[in-house]
Chain A
Amino acid sequence: MKRINFLDSTFRNVCLICTGVCGAITVALVVQLSSASSEAWHTFGWGLLLSTEWDPVTNVYGALPAIIGTLLTTGLALFIALPLAFLCALQLVEAPPALSKILSHGIDLLAAIPSVIYGMWGLFILCPLLQEAFWLLEIDTNGFGVLAASLILALMILPYICAVMRDVLKMTPALLKEAAMGVGCTPWECARDIFLRHGAKALLGGIFIGLGRALGETMAVLFVVGNIIEIPSNLLEGCTTISATLANNFAEAEGLQQSVLFALGLILLLMTFGIQVLAHCYLRKTAQMKG
């Protein structure tokens, strides 16, 4: 009896330590990023967030192009991926079980592809393809830019969003569906009036999952985004994202530039943290609704 008590308490303590360490690391990360970026905040103040200037020769930096680039690519990726993911999820729920299983594995496989592979595919296939396609429309572009990055991101977040939506759609009460069929609804009407209504809730969940993944994505974006620190005037122009800017410059940066990059890291961390908080609020709200 004593022995079991001892094991119990040891286990509890080990768990406590593990959780504590994880929490402490998160806090330490924020502290570290804040202190390392203090020089940048001190030099540029809030202007760092609002300035579009990025000139390493004269040591003047602004974070706005990278922030806008991040939001733009992520937003457009969601815009492309959400409807696709919803249709995929609907198909997976409605298809015959055998087919649904194969398709489901196929979509899950998309999530297993390393992001650098997506990047290479983007560089070697997608960008030249976009260039050719837009030339047919007599639009001059080199293929690299916001649109290419968003397309790649959309493909990357699709399986995650699809998985969330599939699970929500599966929870549609069978009774509702059968009742709809019973009163003579066609499959389309059933999908529109039952699944779509019910699945609207899944939309928000999908958005949060996709946002979290797309915001910090580095490698795939780096290859195709064009890496120019400017605010793009249209979707075919190159831009940069926070994570791409960090990956491009961090290894070689020193002094003020390094501090600015730490500040960018802090901004990205706060952005993802904000999305986490929103997602938690959303989850709590839906739990109450179900409860």
Chain B
Amino acid sequence: MKTSLILAATLLAASSYAERLTLNGAGASFPAPVYQQWTYAYTADELGAAINYQSVGSGAGINQIKAGTIDFAGSDAPLTPPQCDESGLVQIPMLTGAVVPIVNLPRLKDAQLKLSNATLSAIFLGEITNWNDPRIAAENPDVKLPKTLPITVVHRSDSSGTTNIFTSYLANVSTKWKEKIGAGSNVKWPVGIGGQKNPGVCNTVSRIRGAIGYTEYTYALEAQLATVQLCDAQGKYHTAQAPFWPILGTTYILFRKDMDTERCEALKAYLRWCFKKGDSQAITLHYTPLPEPVKAQVLRDVLK
């Protein structure tokens, strides 16, 4: 009797497990830390679908959703409305996050070094090649800079939404960058070496003395790398924690219009949950949730 009860319970558990829908997503590594937190909390919080998210990169996510091998994709570089229509995709904004320059200098504390936009773009253009350059020293009278240390620029070797956010910023603040390099997920870097994905850039920067790179803020915190202060249009410096950080990017979720109804409803239920209950986790991980009016509009128009 007892055995059969246990058996029945096990079977029941097994069958309810089997019935649970699994939704697979892939794409941008930029918001991946939040998505992973969300799926974990969502699974604990509600009896909805199990969600999987692989951070394979924005472009790879878009390629996979177009091919129909996943249920949703994450991308930092938004598709234009005609591109969405052409591939039968729905695109909604999810989050904004900060991209921060990271540096590896001896005895430098986090958010200590100040770089103006002109200096930042000059470094990434390869015009400033040593940390003893007077332009850096002028902006940092209270920082003890190395007597001589070559600057190694570290950028992404793969195509990346983070690169798109960062190069768009540089193109915005520097006409020279805009004319010579331009903005995009993958550009022709004038100097530096390439690392694989956000963690690869962090690892490479942390291994090279005198390196400067850029990454999503959470990755910089995890790797305990020093971020810098950047300047806004008024000439005021901000740290990456402040609300006025200048390099921000919005990340998006894409799914197919012709998705199976049951799966589509499950995905929408999950996304509704993210909008309503996900903010606290996003803020803990130093991302910024979307403004309420935008959320309300997405909830009303797409996720109803």
Residues of A within 8 A of B (CB): 54-58, 123-124, 127-128, 131, 140, 142-145, 222-223, 226-228, 238, 244, 248-249, 251-254
User: Are A252 and B188 within 8 A (Cβ)?
Assistant: no
User: Are A123 and B208 within 8 A (Cβ)?
Assistant: no
B60 at the interface (CB under 8 A from A): yes
Chain A residues, Cβ within 8 Å of B185: 56, 252
B121 at the interface (CB under 8 A from A): no
| Nearest 5 A/B pairs, CB to CB | A252-B59, A227-B194, A227-B157, A252-B159, A226-B193
Q: How far is the CB of A122 from chain B (nearest CB, A)?
A: 10
Chain A residues, Cβ within 8 Å of B182: 57-58
User: Are B56 and A251 within 8 A (Cβ)?
Assistant: yes
Can you identify 12 A-B contacts, CB atoms within 8 angstroms?
A: A57-B181, A142-B152, A142-B211, A144-B193, A144-B204, A249-B186, A252-B57, A252-B58, A252-B59, A252-B60, A252-B63, A253-B159
Binary per-residue interface labels of chain B (192-232) against chain A in the complex, 1 for a CB within 8 Å, 0 otherwise:
11111000000110011111000000000000000000000
B133 at the interface (CB under 8 A from A): no
Q: How far is the CB of B88 from chain A (nearest CB, A)?
A: 17
User: Are B188 and A254 within 8 A (Cβ)?
Assistant: no
Q: In whole angstroms, what is the CA distance A141 to B253 when docked?
A: 41
Residue of B157, B159, B196, B207 with most chain A CB atoms under a 10 A cut-off: B157
Q: How far is the CB of A229 from chain B (nearest CB, A)?
A: 8
Q: In whole angstroms, what is the CA distance A238 to B211 when docked?
A: 14
Q: How far is the CB of B7 from chain A (nearest CB, A)?
A: 43
User: Are B159 and A249 within 8 A (Cβ)?
Assistant: yes
Binary per-residue interface labels of chain B (129-164) against chain A in the complex, 1 for a CB within 8 Å, 0 otherwise:
000000000000000000000101000011110000
Contact partner of A226 (CB less than 8 A), chosen from B57, B184, B194, is: B194
Chain B residues, Cβ within 8 Å of A131: 208-209
User: Are B158 and A228 within 8 A (Cβ)?
Assistant: no
Contact partner of A54 (CB less than 8 A), chosen from B159, B160, B188, B210, is: B188
Q: How large is the interface on B (under 10, 10 to 19, 20 to 34, 35 or more residues)?
A: 20 to 34
Chain A residues, Cβ within 8 Å of B196: 222-223, 227, 248
Chain B residues, Cβ within 8 Å of A57: 181-184, 186-188
Q: How far is the CB of B276 from chain A (nearest CB, A)?
A: 32
User: Are A248 and B157 within 8 A (Cβ)?
Assistant: yes
Residue of B150, B193, B195 with most chain A CB atoms under a 10 A cut-off: B193
Given contacts A54-B188, A56-B184, A227-B195, contact A123 B207 (CB under 8 A): yes
Chain B residues, Cβ within 8 Å of A249: 158-159, 186
Q: In whole angstroms, what is the CA distance A227 to B60 when docked?
A: 19
Contact partner of B159 (CB less than 8 A), chosen from A56, A142, A227, is: A56
User: Are A124 and B207 within 8 A (Cβ)?
Assistant: yes
Closest to A239 in B: B193
Residues of B within 8 A of A (CB): 56-60, 63, 150, 152, 157-160, 181-189, 192-196, 203-204, 207-211
User: Are B158 and A144 within 8 A (Cβ)?
Assistant: no
Closest to B157 in A: A227
Q: How far is the CB of B135 from chain A (nearest CB, A)?
A: 19
Given contacts A144-B208, A249-B158, contact A228 B194 (CB under 8 A): yes
User: Are A227 and B209 within 8 A (Cβ)?
Assistant: no
Chain A residues, Cβ within 8 Å of B204: 123, 144
Chain A residues, Cβ within 8 Å of B207: 123-124, 127-128, 143
Chain B residues, Cβ within 8 Å of A248: 157-158, 194, 196
Given A56-B159, A227-B195, list of 5 further CB < 8 A pairs?
A56-B188, A124-B203, A249-B159, A251-B57, A252-B57
Chain B residues, Cβ within 8 Å of A238: 193-194
Closest to A135 in B: B209
Given contacts A57-B181, A249-B186, contact A142 B193 (CB under 8 A): yes
User: Are B208 and A253 within 8 A (Cβ)?
Assistant: no
Q: How far is the CB of A232 from chain B (nearest CB, A)?
A: 11
Q: How far is the CB of B187 from chain A (nearest CB, A)?
A: 5
Given contacts A123-B203, A143-B208, A227-B195, contact A252 B187 (CB under 8 A): no
Closest to B194 in A: A227
Chain B residues, Cβ within 8 Å of A228: 189, 192-194
Chain B residues, Cβ within 8 Å of A244: 157
Q: How far is the CB of B222 from chain A (nearest CB, A)?
A: 16
Q: How far is the CB of B134 from chain A (nearest CB, A)?
A: 19
Closest to A53 in B: B188
Closest to A140 in B: B150
User: Are A142 and B194 within 8 A (Cβ)?
Assistant: no
Chain B residues, Cβ within 8 Å of A128: 207-208
Q: How far is the CB of A114 from chain B (nearest CB, A)?
A: 17
Q: In whole angstroms, what is the CA distance A248 to B181 when docked?
A: 20
Q: In whole angstroms, what is the CA distance A223 to B152 when docked?
A: 16
User: Are A251 and B60 within 8 A (Cβ)?
Assistant: yes
Chain A residues, Cβ within 8 Å of B159: 56, 249, 252-253
Contact partner of B59 (CB less than 8 A), chosen from A58, A143, A254, is: A254
Given contacts A124-B207, A227-B194, contact A55 B188 (CB under 8 A): yes
User: Are B59 and A142 within 8 A (Cβ)?
Assistant: no
Q: In whole angstroms, what is the CA distance A56 to B184 when docked?
A: 8
User: Are B60 and A142 within 8 A (Cβ)?
Assistant: no
Chain B residues, Cβ within 8 Å of A254: 59, 63
